[in-house]
Amino acid sequence: MYQLTDQADIIKCTETGTFIPRGHWMWGGYQEWLMAGNVAQPAPPPYAVNSPEHQRVLRGHAWEWMLTHIQARGYDSIESCCSYINSSVQRFAQEAVAMVAWRDAVSIALQRMAIECTDGLQTWEQLKVLLPQPEAFEWPAADAAS
């Protein structure tokens, strides 16, 4: 019956298409509807699904996901980890090989999905499970000897 918008003080009535600002006499009906245990639909994305902007947003989420993983292993950035590919320290070199392979696999999957414009694929959560997972790559144990 209601949908959130990109503005916290404006909701949309999905039955009428009316946008209702906080303070409007119809806002009370929305509040009562929420108090009855209902949940508003999420706000639509600010871009068209499968548009170049949508693809950039999804790619950004993928990059943040990979970055978070590699930072948990002690690196500042994906690039920093990848730069150890020729390291004389075996663990660093193995992590770099795994990161390069994972980064490449994710990039190829993102390109393929952008070309195919997979129907129904709108959110990062939907995309993430379809991408190559870090566990699929040969990461050395975090406590492996140098």
pLDDT tens-digit readout, 35-46? 999 999 988 877
Residue in the structure block whose two tokens are 């390109």:
111
CA 112 to each of CA 42, 55, 57, 84, 130: distance values in angstroms, whole numbers, following the listed order: 28, 11, 16, 28, 12
Using CA atoms, how far apart are residues 49 and 127, in angstroms rounded to an integer? 13
| Tens-place pLDDT, residues 88-116 | 999 999 999 999 999 999 999 998 887 77
Q: In the structure, what pLDDT confidence band is assigned to residue 15 with cuts at 50, 70 and 90?
A: very high
Q: Could you tell me where the beta strands, DSSP code E, fall in the chain?
A: 2-4, 10-13, 19-21
Show the tokens assigned to 98: 């795994």
Note the pLDDT of residue 10. 95
Task: Give the DSSP letter of residue 11.
Answer: E
